[in-house]
Chain A
Amino acid sequence: MSTFDDRELLWLLAGVAALLLTATAVGQVLERVVATPSGRDTVDNINARVRAWWVMSFAFAIAVASGGVGSVVLFALISFLALREFVTLSPTGRVDHAALVWSFFLVIPLQYVLVGVQWYGFFSIMIPVYAFLFVTARLVLAGETERFLERAATIQWGLMTCVYCISYAPALLLLDIKGYEGENAKLLFFLVVVVQLSDVFQYIWGKLFGRHPIAPAISPNKTWEGFLGGIVCAVLLGTSLWWITPFNLWQAALMALAIALMGFVGGLVMSAVKRDRGVKDYGSLIEGHGGVLDRVDSLLFAAPLFFHLTRFFF
């Protein structure tokens, strides 16, 4: 079944367009109303984020609509850019060069080819086992023992988060679910929309009502108010999307809860890495958002868990 024959997917894309139009309109209203200098900065940032959301939504819509290949290519590109940002911030040196070349130009393409050819058995172990071992072997051959474990672990961690975890999102397309054949693109849509809008909800709730920070040492912008409000909204959103999934109402609610919680943890962990490296953002590729890794950090933990929950129970 071609994607555009799928009425539900067209409705979803229309829904995203409506949401973006609303966000743009709200941004324009805020632009007129807000006058304080700090408020202006926030409004400018919000409008920049909305503009970037248009671009990202288009890219995602094209990828999903093109079926398997488009999604695999899009997420491979995201992995490439994310690993680039991660490595730039990591204290890797000259002796690590060869291991990094292999990581970028062999491990990333191979992982996404495995997704593309739907070889689940190898896909799920290639990085945790073979890339894991290969990195240490290549570093040993480079012959430098200083900070050996730290350097190896840094590259391995980058591959696990930026490549392995992200690749679980397009891997949703290789699941076999009875009565849902050919519709897996909507699962990917479900994951990405819930995880990203959960971020947006948390941001809005935090901006409006945020008082009590959850982890002030890691991220001053994450508050209990934002967290709870955002999670509740994300669960409501996920539940309301049950009709595009193989889940019933309460299953969709629980899945959305799992996605939102993992998204929160992922964002927090990636923030901790940034604090460790002494930066605020991973990059500056996406206007208003920071780097690619700043945008997909919440996907890192959510994608594998959602994949395995779905694979196990459905």
Chain B
Amino acid sequence: MRWAAAPSEDRQRVFFGNHTSHLDFILIWASLPTRIRKRARPVAARDYWESGPIRRYLARKVFRAVLIDRGAPGDSAERDPRERGQEAIARMVEGLGREDSLIVFPEGTRGSGDEVGEFKSGLYYLWRERPDLELVPVHLANLNRVLPKGEFIPVPMISRVTFGPSLDWAAGETKEAFLERARRAVQRLEES
């Protein structure tokens, strides 16, 4: 685990990283200093974490996850994606409250681990809602090899979490430009 800059205490943050494995947020969570960890809540998909009592218990009591609806193929016809997006942002803002931080994976789904995929727009709207947040890019290396998609038993490979310097606020930046900048910030950590 490496920090680009030592984290100051008691700021609300959004940690955003590349998503390659089920272990991702557990690793980020475990890497955080205790005080920050206690206030960090992962943002996760409701359909996955509410299926089954064990997952529900873990999500609610252990990780204090903020559960949001993602567009399952079946219900996209019934609900307007915009409306669902707004609701997700509202839930994240609610989840942040006055003192908590969030861990998000803006790619939305687990990638191959080779390259950081395109970011969904939630991060942009969330920051517009709460510009006081500190946005910290996180890069996870090798976790997709520890536990690839569809596997259950992890292989104990050495992996790495890198926390980058937080993003600067750029006034008047378009959504696309911001999302690309955020994606690059994660990608760049891989090369460092």
Contacts and interface: CB of A to CB of B under 8 A. Distances in A.
Question: Do A and B originate from a single complex?
Answer: yes
B158 interface: yes
Given A88-B142, A97-B148, A283 B158 contact: yes
B158 A92 contact: no
A84 B148 CA distance: 16
A101 B148 contact: no
Nearest to A99: B155
A87 interface: yes
Contacts of B149: 94
Contacts of A100: 155
Interface string B145-173: 10011010101111000000000000000
Contacts of A105: 153
A306 interface: no
Contacts of A98: 151
A60 interface: no
A101 B146 CA distance: 10
Interface in A79-106: 80, 84-85, 87-88, 92-94, 97-98, 100-101, 104-105
A97 B156 contact: no
A25 B153 CA distance: 47
B109 to A, nearest CB: 16
Contact of B155 (A85, A104, A283): A104
Contacts of A87: 155, 157
A80 B155 CA distance: 11
Given A88-B142, A92-B145, A97 B158 contact: no
A107 to B, nearest CB: 13
Nearest to A85: B158
B156 A80 contact: yes
A101 B153 contact: yes
Contacts of A93: 145
Contacts of A84: 156-158
Q: Which of B142, B144, B153 has the most CB of A within 10 A?
A: B153
Q: How large, as a class, is the contact surface on chain B? A: 10 to 19
Nearest to A291: B158
Nearest to A94: B148
Given A88-B142, A92-B145, A94-B148, A101 B155 contact: yes
Nearest to A95: B148
A73 B155 CA distance: 20
Contacts of B145: 88, 92-94, 97
Nearest to A87: B157
Contacts of B156: 80, 84, 104
Nearest to A101: B153
B77 to A, nearest CB: 33
B147 to A, nearest CB: 8
Nearest to A100: B155
Nearest to A84: B156
B20 to A, nearest CB: 11
Contacts of A80: 156
B153 A88 contact: no
A28 B156 CA distance: 38
Contact of B158 (A88, A101, A104): A88
A80 B158 CA distance: 12
A80 B66 CA distance: 37
Contacts of B142: 88
Contacts of B155: 87, 97, 100-101, 104
A310 to B, nearest CB: 33
Contacts of B153: 101, 105
A88 B157 contact: yes
Contacts of A97: 145, 148, 151, 155
Interface of A: 80, 84-85, 87-88, 92-94, 97-98, 100-101, 104-105, 283
29 contacts: A80-B156, A84-B156, A84-B157, A84-B158, A85-B158, A87-B155, A87-B157, A88-B142, A88-B145, A88-B157, A88-B158, A92-B145, A93-B145, A94-B144, A94-B145, A94-B148, A94-B149, A97-B145, A97-B148, A97-B151, A97-B155, A98-B151, A100-B155, A101-B153, A101-B155, A104-B155, A104-B156, A105-B153, A283-B158
Given A94-B145, A94-B148, A97-B151, 11 more contacts: A80-B156, A84-B156, A85-B158, A87-B155, A88-B158, A94-B144, A100-B155, A101-B153, A101-B155, A104-B156, A105-B153
Interface of B: 142, 144-145, 148-149, 151, 153, 155-158
Question: What are the 8 tightest A-B residue pairs by CB atom distance, in nearest-first order?
Answer: A88-B158, A94-B148, A100-B155, A88-B157, A101-B153, A84-B156, A97-B151, A97-B148
